[in-house]
Amino acid sequence: MAAPETPPPSLRQGVRIAPQDSSVSEEEALLAAGEQVGHGNLLFASGMSKAVVVFVKSEQIVHQLVASGVFIKDLYVQVSPLSVPCTRITVSGVPPSIPNELLENEEN
């Protein structure tokens, strides 16, 4: 359990571990993640819809887990970030006669 002075984690500090084998326990997933990045770097965890959501100490650890994945019962399990950064662009004042492809080409 995290110390009381630990601030709540952000979504960028979270990962989702979803093993294909439904017999994998939450404990096994946490042990595998802890072996990969160090057990002291795991802050919070919860089982959700056949997956385990784990919050870690920093975004760097998230990137490390996503890049390496984990091995549970000798099977590779991909790790996904909870937050995927994206950019939204809003274009206004463009007549409908201009095709979307033309706007996409101009953006790049």
**pLDDT score for 96:** 87
DSSP 11-70: GGGEEEE--S-TT--HHHHHHHHHHHH-GGGEEEEEEETTEEEEEES-HHHHHHHHHH-E
More confident residue, 21 or 106: 21
Cβ contacts of 13 within 8 Å, gap of 6 or more:
43, 55, 56, 57, 58, 59, 61, 62
Q: 88 lies in which domain range?
A: 1-108
pLDDT in tens, 24-61: 889 999 999 999 999 999 999 999 888 999 999 999 99
Per the structure block, which two tokens stand in for 4? 């009381």
pLDDT in tens, 66-89: 999 999 999 999 999 998 877 777
Choose the weakest-confidence range: 7-16, 22-31, 99-108: 99-108
Collapsing DSSP states into helix, strand and coil, what is residue 99?
Answer: coil
**pLDDT score for 84:** 81
**pLDDT score for 4:** 67
pTM, two decimal places: 0.71
Per the structure block, which two tokens stand in for 85? 């950064």
